[in-house]
Structure formats: structure tokens, C-alpha cells
Amino acid sequence: MKNTKELTCISCPMGCLLEVEYDETGVTKVSNQGCKRGEIYAIKEITDPRRIVTSIIPVRDGVEEMVSVKTATDIPKSKVQDCLLALKGLKVSAPIEMGQVILDNIANTGVSIIATKRVAKKTMNYYVIQTPIVPIGFGIEDGFVVRIDFRPTLAPNGIETTLSKDVSKQLIDYMLGSRKQLNIPYLLKGTPFQINVFKAMKDIPLGQTRSYQDLAQIVGIPKGSRAIGNACGSNPLPLIIPCHRVIRTDGKLGGFSGGLDVKIALLKQENILF
């Protein structure tokens, strides 16, 4: 069966968009917009074997557990997403013994999924506050802030703690303009590329902006402005990682997860006018 997948080539500085066709035998066609390294990268990305390591959540007596699982042998990369989808919908009853085969022939690969260890399931406590500019939600896991949302849609479930009170106050003060920097414990999550972009954004000084092109240069992909924009959009900790200070090369605002009205308000507080 023929499949099609879009990839962004990370083997060259241009960050070309590749359209790859492949089947059970491997890659059959690569449309690479002139990228000299695209075909080599696409073949490697699609066909290199790898072992899935992920987790599932079986239920025992109505209580969720988390169990780490892996494929017994390597599978082609082209089958990874199919396997993950199969696992996502998998219904398993606890208890599970370590080493137990959870599923045979996952996604028609002929490979088994095996339980490897139990994992302590982390619980995120979520809080919603009203600030002078916009409602904000934030999540805390194990004493660290792991996400900040503008106009949150998640329901709050957290019990008020000393940390949650402090985070709430700092966020409100920041949105008032009376606090210029957040000093809260946080845990940054993302792919290695995203983390590099987040670190570059974190270094943008108060009262200054950088373009997507500037950040592309900093992280070493001079023609990767689109990839930088995607990373900015996936920033889980806006305000801590000040993605509102990232604008387009032509001086226009660009996008923002909280909405352009919030981006403008934040920049005005830093004496950057649009």
C-alpha cells in the first residue's frame, strides 16, 4: 500500500519541505524542492528501524496505573505512528506482569509489545486565575510549573498551595506590569530542537524583540524561519519563555498563542509599541 508523508529536512540549513511516498518495500519517491540531501534524509527517516518505548494505562478496580511498554524488536520508522495509534486505543486490564506480552503483531508488523516496568503516574494540578489582561491557567507537577495557558479551557483541579499562591501572584503582577521577570520553578518540555529554540527565546532581553529569522540564525538553521515559528507556537511556558518578543522580519507582529491583543499589551508594557 502506498503512503505519503511530509517531512521537514533537518539535514541541510534550508529546512526544505519533503513529500515522501513509500510502501512496504521502502521509499519510492521524494519530492524535495531541489534539496540535495533530502532524499538521503527521507530514506533514513522513513526506513531506519527503531524500537518503540512508550506507556499505556491499564485499569484495576477502577484505578489507573501506568506501565512502560516496548516493542520486542525494532520496527521500520514508517510503522511507528501506526503502532502508537494502536497502543493509544488499547484496552488492557490490570494487573500486568512485567515481561508480559501485551499485544501480538502490532499494526501488522509481526512484532509484540511487552510490558517493561510500572511507572508512577504524575498528576498535574491545574489552576485558573483572572489577570488584568486575560484569564490564565497554569499546571504544576512535582513542584514545577509545566504549562501556562491564555484563555484556558481546562477545568481547575488543584488545591491551593504556597507554590500555587506564589505563582498566581507573580503572574498577576507580571500582567499588571509591576513585575518584570517571573521567578518560579519550571520544567521545560519539548523536542531537542524545540528546547534549543525556547532557550534562544529565553535570552531575549526585556524591552527588545527578535525576529523568527534572528532565532533561526541563533539555533543554526538560517533558512528555518517556518520551523522557528512552529516551535514558538508550541511553547508550553509563555511569559517564562517570552515568545511575545518574537516578531516577523518585516516588523509585523506574527502570531501568538494568547491572541494578538495579548501580545500587543505585553509589548506595550515593555515600551515596545505597535
Given a cut of 80, whether residue 140 has pLDDT beyond it is: yes
Is residue 61 pLDDT above 50, yes or no?
A: no
Buried (b) or exposed (e) across 93-121, using 16+ Cβ within 10 A? Answer: eeebeeeeebbeebbebebbbbbeebeee
Whether residue 33 is predicted with pLDDT greater than 60 in this model: the reply is: no
Residue 197 sits in the same domain as residue 264: yes
Residues acting as catalytic residues:
243
238 pLDDT band (50/70/90 cuts)? Answer: very high
Are residues 202 and 161 part of one domain? no
Residue 75 lies in a domain: yes
Q: Would you say residue 161 lies in a domain?
A: yes
In this predicted model, which residue has the larger pLDDT, 159 or 89?
159
> Which is more confident, 6 or 25?
6
Report the pLDDT averaged over residues 246-273: 90
104 and 59 in a single domain? The answer is: yes
How much is the pLDDT for 152? 93
Question: If you average pLDDT over residues 165-180, what whole number do you get?
Answer: 95
| Confidence band, pLDDT 50/70/90 cuts, at residue 94 | low
Residue 149 half-sphere exposure toward CB, CA atoms < 13 A: 14
In a domain, 181, yes or no: no
Q: Dump pLDDT digits (tens) for 74-83.
A: 777 677 777 7
Give yes or no: residues 254 and 206 share one domain.
yes
- Asked if residue 34 and residue 14 are part of one domain, the reply reads yes
- pLDDT for residue 202: 95
Residue 230 in any domain: the answer is: yes
Secondary structure (3-state) at 187: coil
Q: How many CB atoms lie within 10 A of CB 26?
A: 11
Is 263 found in the same domain as 205? yes
Residues 105 and 71 reside in one and the same domain: yes
Q: What is the pLDDT of residue 136?
A: 97
Q: According to the model, what pLDDT value does residue 83 have?
A: 77
CA–CA distance, 33 with 17 (Å, rounded to integer): 7
C-beta separation of 209 from 256 below 8 A: no
Between residues 187 and 85, the one the model is more confident about: 187
**Domain-located, residue 274:** no
Residues 60 and 42 in one domain: no
Cα–Cα distance measured from residue 28 to residue 24, given in angstroms and rounded to the nearest whole number: 10
| CATH code, 258 | 1.10.10.10
Q: Which is more confident, 123 or 179? A: 179
In a domain, 248, yes or no: yes
Percent of the chain with pLDDT over 90: 38
Question: What average pLDDT does the structure give for the chain?
Answer: 81
Give strand pairing partners of 66. 119
| 222 shares its domain with 166 | no
> Cell digits for 151?
484563555
Of 73, 102, 119, which closes a domain?
119
Q: What pLDDT digit, counting tens, does each position of 203-215 carry?
A: 999 999 999 999 9
Domains held by the chain: number? 4
Q: Which of 119, 135, 156 is the last residue of a domain?
A: 119
Are residues 115 and 129 located together in one domain of the fold? Answer: no
Look at residue 68 in the predicted model and tell me its pLDDT. 73
What is the pLDDT, as a whole number, of residue 205? 93
Q: Which band of pLDDT confidence, cut at 50, 70 and 90, is reported for residue 189?
A: confident
- Report the Cα–Cα distance between both ends of the chain, in Å, rounded: 52
Residue 193: the pLDDT is 86
Higher pLDDT, 14 or 189: 189
Task: Answer yes or no: are the C-beta atoms of 13 and 221 closer than 8 Å.
Answer: yes
- Give mean pLDDT, residues 57-85: 68
Supply the range of the domain harboring residue 43: 3-47
> What is the rounded CA–CA span in Å between residue 274 and residue 271?
10
> Residue 57: is its pLDDT beyond 80?
no
Mean pLDDT for the stretch of residues 173-190: 92
Answer yes or no: do 146 and 196 share one domain. no
Largest CA distance in the chain: 61
**257 within some domain:** yes
What was the pLDDT predicted at 36?
A: 63
Same domain, 114 and 163: no
Does some domain include residue 185? no
Q: What is the pLDDT of residue 62?
A: 46
Where does the pLDDT of residue 46 fall: very low under 50, low under 70, confident under 90, or very high at 90 and above? low
